[in-house]
Structure 1
Amino acid sequence: MAKQKLDHFLKNPKKAIFILAIPAMIGMFVQVMYNIVDTAYVGRLGAEAIAALTFAFPIFFILISFNSGLGMGMNSRVSRFLGAKEKKNAENTAMHGILLSVAVAALIFGLSLIFIKPLFMLFGAEDSVLNISLDYISIVMYGIFFMFPTYMIAMIFSAQGDTRTPTKIQVAGLVMNIILDPIFIYSLDYGVNGVAIATVISILFSFLVSLYYLKKGSYLKLSMRSFSFSPKLIYEIFAIGLPASLMMILISIYVIFINRLMAHFGTIYVAAFGMVSRLESVITMPVVAFSVSLLTLAGMFHGAKRFDLIKDVTSYTMKVVVGFTLISGAIFLAFPKVFLIIFTGDAELLRIGAAYLRLDVLTFPLMAISMIISRALQGMGYGFPSLVIQAVRIFIVALPLAYLSVYVFGFGYLSVAVAMVLGGIASSVVALVWFEAKLKKLIEMHRVHVG
């Protein structure tokens, strides 16, 4: 099955990106719907409840970043093994990924018991919001023992060129979440805690569904009997996964400090940023879907030594996603309140959110460029560049400018959005230059080896 897909992908790389990305996009849409459904329900509980989820989101994002990075590292290595037609090595790598995810979940759960409250206090949450956020994240933490291996199983299917199965797993969880949210929030009157409980139960259900599909429909057959411990494989997974994890953590830190900057102006500004972030996640969804699909293709093409196809499919994918972000950004720019009213009917909150969204749309195509290039490099086996690309955007440009704008020059909250745009421009330039240099070097090394 995987061999047939590889042959098909080699013949039709542009078609292949859509074959992989469309089911993945549906899966990403499902994931975004998790957030939107939760925020829509919580929005009826007031601005403090929305702000509480806004503060909790980057914490939760940090917690899963290590697992997501491991998934990308495993995906890259598995897809390269499959491209080189080494099934046994691919299976062993996948098994390493699942076991590592369980170990990381246990480590993070233990650390969270110590550091969660100090982190929320560092972020600048007011007392009333702090307590709600703590209750929410403390409950959700129990779900990571099921979330982490579920994600790894989804990435195993993705590495095989199957993005439909992960989508089915996510849809199962979303349906369960939609059913449970109103029950726990309103019927049982648990409020924000009800969102957390519904989320944990939905995660458990997704895990059970993923196990079913892994046993029933995976080309790679996994078992402890065929597992062979390999320090080299662990290193190779972490070589891609650790920079990818740190990259995601940088994004979380980014959001955390933006929340703190918004808190300087008041809780309502944090809530406005939270609503805009939810809408931005809708635009990010197809970009992530195409980028993860590109990671798989770049890995397969790398394993098959078809470096020319890596360049072609990366260029094509970038044109597709940048075009999408420009069109969707224009729609948000023209009708911001039409979308923001999903979350609230508060006139002042809508006014603040609409003004911020009109500037934030400028970051959409820039985000697309840096994300596509980062995933292509990860698929090729280069983990470090993606970390540097995000560091340039966040720590060298965006955060320093945002801090200076708010605390030194006394500019308003919209100056934060301007800083984010400038950071996006800088990271996009670095990403494009780095990709061309790495690909050129890879092609030259292959020519020397063949010659």
Structure 2
Amino acid sequence: MANGLQVKNLDPKKIKHARADAKYYEMTQRPVEGLIMKLSAPAVISNLVTMAYNLVDTFFIGRLGTAQSGAIGIAFSIMTILQAVGFFFGNGSGNTLARELGKHDEDRAAKLLSIGFFGSVGCGFLITVLGLVTLRPLVSMLGSTETIAPYAIEYLTPLLCAAPFVCASFTMNGLLRYQGQSAYAMVGLVSGAMLNLALAPALIFGLHLGIFGAGLATAICQTVSFGILLYMSRKFSVVSLSYCQFRPNVLLVREILGGGLPSLVRQGAGSIAVTCVNLAANPFGDAAIAGMAIVMRIMLFTNSVIVGLGQGFQPVCGYNYGAGLFPRVKRGYWFCIRMSTSLLVVLAVVLFISAPHLIGVFRSDPVVIAIGAFALRIQCFTCALNGFNMMSNMMQQTIGMTGIASFLALCRLGLFLAPVVLILPHIFGVLGVQMAQSVSDVLSFLVTIPFQRMILRRLQSNSAVRIH
């Protein structure tokens, strides 16, 4: 009984400090490889399940028609914007938060946590208002044909209503990960995704809501994920989430902007790139838009494994960089490069062999299958480069190299892909749309090499200075 009373009477602040000290020891003393695998496993599972329920939407909507499948490609641009906002606040606050925890500054970390969360919710409300007011011209601007536009509007309406919860879900997932609490972040995302597996077909076919039911299911499930992640954060985070800590100042906002800008650029450029792909595919008809939309979902599913590995590396990188343990940062980086490249090679072989069957799962239209399968096979030749591209960019972002990280994030999806996908179709026709992503991946790889070499040399110099 005495022990029970003693536990109940413990100061919550002391519990938080003890948890922070234990996490600091784990992140800075345990073997890097095992630590990254431990933290990346929940992130990989979260990403795979999240991507799986995106593919489930694509599968069920594919049963409705080619125009509906094309609408998913249009809606994907909006979803990318919501992710961009969530990642901006999650990574913007989380990168600095991890470094502050590495310096044992829990108070500053708590302020960053609260600013990231409430900032994300506020921006989500703004997207809801602007999106619903401009929805009809918006889907046309994103590349909809006359037949696709009504379905895109149906799908996006409930999703935009849930925008604050969607943005905040991605933010909270990131903030939990950067504190080394990937398992709790996983619970929130996976719960919503699993619910969607049952809810989507029930609304689409059971209640005969069609593509509107798919959008409604996604909105409901994202809201459920938000509620679970909010509970997990208040219960298990290393530092406390509280509105009282929501005290933005110039220095903290600058830190969030610096840490989040690469994510915002990467996701924003991704939205622009998807729009450019849709616009480039538009002259070739609904089948081209639908085929490329399916390919983008499949490649996202593949890359989600690598992103999860990088998400396991980022908190390790942030803690150890903040603590000045630069050799551990480099060791973790090269471990992730080897793992990601090996995984992507294996996945590329599997995708190349099964490309027509995979596209056919989502849409039986032979034209869609022909366009999508060929595009998927082209991307298989270069997707292994993304291990180096992604890991380097995540490391640059986490250690505060904002300018370089933002530029390289822009390169792959904006600076290279957008013009390539708009120029090549004029030369090669639909083949230009199909090969654009691979051309962009190669160019990004070549540009990333000198920047990353410079950063690794600087880490080596800092390590030598600390040793002496």
Structure 1 position 198 matched with structure 2 position 211 = no
User: What secondary structure sits across from 2:148 in the alignment?
Assistant: helix
What CA distance in whole angstroms lies between the structure 2 residues aligned with 1:420 and 1:128?
Answer: 26
What CA distance in whole angstroms lies between the structure 2 residues aligned with 1:183 and 1:250?
Answer: 34
User: What secondary structure sits across from 1:358 in the alignment?
Assistant: helix
Scaled by the length of structure 1, what TM-score is found?
0.94
Residue by residue over 1:66-107, the C-alpha shift from the partner in whole angstroms, topping out at 9 and shown as x without a partner, is 221111111101110111111121112101111111221122
What CA distance in whole angstroms lies between the structure 1 residues aligned with 2:256 and 2:304?
Answer: 25
CA contact (8 A) 1:362 1:421 kept: yes
Residue by residue over 1:409-434, the C-alpha shift from the partner in whole angstroms, topping out at 9 and shown as x without a partner, is 2x132223333222211211222321
Give the 3 Å change call, closer, same or farther, for CA 77–396 of structure 1 in structure 2.
closer
Corresponding residue for residue 96 of structure 1: 115
Corresponding residue for residue 432 of structure 1: 449
Report the more deviating stretch, 133-142 or 110-119: 110-119
Structure 1 position 127 matched with structure 2 position 143 = no
Corresponding residue for residue 9 of structure 2: none
Give the 3 Å change call, closer, same or farther, for CA 137–361 of structure 1 in structure 2.
same
Corresponding residue for residue 263 of structure 1: 282
What CA distance in whole angstroms lies between the structure 1 residues aligned with 2:295 and 2:238?
Answer: 40
Structure 1 position 6 matched with structure 2 position 24 = yes
What CA distance in whole angstroms lies between the structure 1 residues aligned with 2:324 and 2:261?
Answer: 25
CA contact (8 A) 2:20 2:101 kept: yes
Residue by residue over 1:150-174, the C-alpha shift from the partner in whole angstroms, topping out at 9 and shown as x without a partner, is 2222222111111111111112101
CA contact (8 A) 1:40 1:342 kept: yes
What CA distance in whole angstroms lies between the structure 2 residues aligned with 1:21 and 1:114?
Answer: 39
Corresponding residue for residue 84 of structure 2: 65
Corresponding residue for residue 293 of structure 1: 312
Report the more deviating stretch, 148-157 or 131-140: 148-157
Corresponding residue for residue 103 of structure 2: 84
What CA distance in whole angstroms lies between the structure 2 residues aligned with 1:259 and 1:73?
Answer: 30
What CA distance in whole angstroms lies between the structure 2 residues aligned with 1:334 and 1:31?
Answer: 24
Give the 3 Å change call, closer, same or farther, for CA 243–397 of structure 1 in structure 2.
closer
What CA distance in whole angstroms lies between the structure 1 residues aligned with 2:20 and 2:283?
Answer: 53
CA contact (8 A) 1:73 1:241 kept: yes
Corresponding residue for residue 16 of structure 2: none
CA contact (8 A) 1:45 1:191 kept: yes
1:110-189 superposed matches below 5 A: 110-189=129-208
Give the 3 Å change call, closer, same or farther, for CA 344–86 of structure 1 in structure 2.
same
Report the more deviating stretch, 216-225 or 364-373: 216-225
Which one of the candidate residues 302, 305, 310 is aligned to 1:283? 302
CA contact (8 A) 2:40 2:308 kept: yes
Task: Tell me the amino acid that sits aligned with residue 324 of structure 1.
Answer: L
CA contact (8 A) 1:297 1:379 kept: no
Which one of the candidate residues 268, 277, 287 is aligned to 1:249? 268
What CA distance in whole angstroms lies between the structure 2 residues aligned with 1:230 and 1:447?
Answer: 35
Residue by residue over 1:164-220, the C-alpha shift from the partner in whole angstroms, topping out at 9 and shown as x without a partner, is 111111121012212211221112111000011111111221122123222332222
Corresponding residue for residue 412 of structure 1: 429
Task: Tell me the amino acid that sits aligned with residue 337 of structure 1.
Answer: P
Residue by residue over 1:41-78, the C-alpha shift from the partner in whole angstroms, topping out at 9 and shown as x without a partner, is 11110111100111111122123312211111111011
1:347-366 superposed matches below 5 A: 347-366=366-385
Structure 1 position 389 matched with structure 2 position 417 = no
Corresponding residue for residue 329 of structure 1: 348
Task: Tell me the amino acid that sits aligned with residue 205 of structure 2.
Answer: Y
Task: Tell me the amino acid that sits aligned with residue 399 of structure 1.
Answer: A
| TM-fit CA distance, 1:235 | 1.3
Give the 3 Å change call, closer, same or farther, for CA 424–226 of structure 1 in structure 2.
closer
| TM-fit CA distance, 1:298 | 1.3
| TM-fit CA distance, 1:267 | 0.7
Corresponding residue for residue 105 of structure 1: 124
Task: Tell me the amino acid that sits aligned with residue 254 of structure 2.
Answer: Y
Give the 3 Å change call, closer, same or farther, for CA 312–450 of structure 1 in structure 2.
closer
What CA distance in whole angstroms lies between the structure 2 residues aligned with 1:367 and 1:178?
Answer: 29
| TM-fit CA distance, 1:330 | 0.8
Consecutive unaligned residues of structure 1, counting only runs of 5 or more, are none
Give the 3 Å change call, closer, same or farther, for CA 340–450 of structure 1 in structure 2.
same
Pairwise CA RMSD: 2.0
Task: Tell me the amino acid that sits aligned with residue 208 of structure 2.
Answer: D
Consecutive unaligned residues of structure 2, counting only runs of 5 or more, are 1-18
Task: Tell me the amino acid that sits aligned with residue 50 of structure 1.
Answer: S
CA contact (8 A) 1:42 1:49 kept: yes
Residue by residue over 1:99-143, the C-alpha shift from the partner in whole angstroms, topping out at 9 and shown as x without a partner, is 111221122223323444333222331112111102211220111
What CA distance in whole angstroms lies between the structure 1 residues aligned with 2:168 and 2:367?
Answer: 42
Report the more deviating stretch, 178-187 or 46-55: 178-187
What CA distance in whole angstroms lies between the structure 2 residues aligned with 1:401 and 1:150?
Answer: 33
Corresponding residue for residue 33 of structure 1: 52
CA contact (8 A) 2:185 2:232 kept: no
